[in-house]
Every structure is written in structure tokens, then in C-alpha cells.
Amino acid sequence: MDKEAGKRLAAEEAANHIERDMTLGLGTGSTAAYFVDIVGKLVSEGWDLRGVPTSEATREHAERVGVEIIEPDEATVIDLAVDGADEADPSLNLIKGGGAALLREKIIAYAAKKFIVIADKSKRVAALGAFPLPVEISPYSWALTVAALRRTLADNGFAEANLELRARDGEAVKTDGGNLIIDCRLGRIENPAALEKALAAIPGVLESGLFCGMTRMAIFGGEDGITINGA
């Protein structure tokens, strides 16, 4: 089974948690896109579903498949949020942000009554950190923020961290909110919750891609079907 089939299986399983009348947090990325397709199909069958998108790409996709959009500024309740991940550990801590949507994704995941992660099985890891940790920072005085980030990482045991401004075609990548992404190659992260807290304390850091203690359920799709962690 290829990765795409695993992603689709995970999205289909997550869809079993949708009820007929719900406001859904819609994640970003190729796995979350399978879920958006399913939500569109349910809407076409008469289900009363609305979506709060975590990125402009997801907004366009959701609109295209007929899902009513609730503007993030107007959303007061999110019944269920479903999103992908770049890595997930056995305690359901995550690294996210490969698609540069991590700030919005975290706001929605945190607000949701229930947050489900969907992924192909290659995203399951014993410990987070092989995937470079994305950190979203304000463009204002960004070099000072990167210096503070380096200091905090060193204080937390990552003196050898390699930090890189995310760029494409020679241009800094801007998030949908106009922010920058610093990808931090750290290696194994022994205490992701402590690191998440330390990074959040840096002025100029808007969020890190560490999502600790937020995931209620993780659904992984692969060769041997579905594996579900959490409830």
C-alpha cells in the first residue's frame, strides 16, 4: 500500500467521528485534504457541516467541494478538528508545520472540543525530532528573534541545532499570516512539552510546531489497515 492509500484510510476513519450538524476545524496538507473531500461529500448528501480552514489552501479546497466556510474571526465553537502531522510520538505529541500553517493549525486544534490527527504510518516515531521543527516567528526584527531562539535551544540541550529560514526560489516563505518559518534541526527531543513551553516564552516566536497534550486521537493508515491511538 502506498502512502496515499494510508492517508485516505486514516481520513475515512476520522470521518466516522463527524456528526450530522457540526463545525469542523479543517487542517492543512495532503492528508487533511482527503478529509476535506469527505466533508464535501457529506455536505452534498445533506449533512449540515461547516468548516473553519487553517490555511488559504484549505479554504479554497473546502469552498470548491461545497463546504460552508466559517470565518476564523467568527468561529466560537469547533466541535471537531482533524489535521495531519509531520511526526507523532506514542504520547500523541506532534511536530507539525511542514506546510507552514502551524500557528493557525494550533489555534484551531487547541480550540476544538476534540482534535484528531490523521497520517500514514510513516509519521509514527518513537521520539520526535528527526523532522526539522518549524517555528513561526514575526518578521519584525526577525534576526533578533532567531538569536533568542538559538539561546533558548542551547539552554534546552540543543547547542548544536541548525536553524534555517525557510525559503523557496530564493525568497523567504511567508505564512498566510505574513510570518516567517525557521526550521530547526534538533535531533531527538527528549522532553517536547518542556521545549514547547520554553519556545513559547520567546517574544517574537508566535508558535512552534510542537503540539503537546492536545491530540485526543491519532489515526494512522498503512499496509495492515488502521491503527488508532487514544480515544
Check whether 157 is labelled as a binding-site residue: no
Check whether 123 is labelled as a binding-site residue: yes
By CB under 6 A, residue 31 contacts ligand 5RP:
yes
Q: Which is nearer to ligand 5RP, 13 or 105 (CB)?
A: 105
Cβ 179 to ligand 5RP shortest distance, Å: 12
Q: Which is nearer to ligand 5RP, 3 or 157 (CB)?
A: 3
Q: Which is nearer to ligand 5RP, 27 or 204 (CB)?
A: 27
Cβ 3 to ligand 5RP shortest distance, Å: 8
Site string for ligand 5RP, 44-73 (x = CB under 6 A): ------------------------------
By CB under 6 A, residue 29 contacts ligand 5RP:
yes
By CB under 6 A, residue 215 contacts ligand 5RP:
no
Residues 95-124, interacting with ligand 5RP (CB under 6 A): 96-102, 105
Cβ 123 to ligand 5RP shortest distance, Å: 7
Residue whose C-alpha is closest to residue 131's, from 120, 139, 123: 123
Q: Classify 69 in phi/psi space as left (phi over 0), alpha (psi -120 to 50) or beta.
A: beta
By CB under 6 A, residue 132 contacts ligand 5RP:
no
List of residues contacting ligand 5RP (CB under 6 A): 27-32, 83-86, 96-102, 105
* Binding site residue list: 28-31, 83-86, 96-99, 123
